[in-house]
Amino acid sequence: MADRKKLILAVTAVAILLLSVVIWSRSRSDVTAIAPTSDFYYICKSCNNHFGMSNSQLNAFQAKHYGEPVPCPKCNSTDLIHAMKCDKCGEIYPVPERGADPACPKCGHKPGDPA
């Protein structure tokens, strides 16, 4: 009888462990699936190029060029404006000044509102 209880306890523990691993792996893939492709957006003042860089791209640039400003990939100018990307229409536009309306100038969508 004691062996049967130990077997049931062991099977239950293994089942809980497997279920935990499955739930954890699914939650990790969901986070990856919705992660943005670019974390940082810029607009070049020289050529008006709108572009984004992922966190890993920015880290790699900073590791190789410590202290240097990010250059435009089109014209190499470092005269850039920090920007944001609209969740609804994809427009990249300058980050609004503090207190200014953060709505997208193209479609009027505000960050944080449902797309």
Specify the pLDDT at position 35.
42
**pTM for the predicted model, two decimal places:** 0.62
Specify the pLDDT at position 5.
80
The domain segmentation of the chain, as residue ranges, is 1-35, 36-115
Specify the pLDDT at position 84.
92
- pLDDT of residue 2 exceeding 80, the answer is no
Residue 111 CB coordination number (10 Å): 13
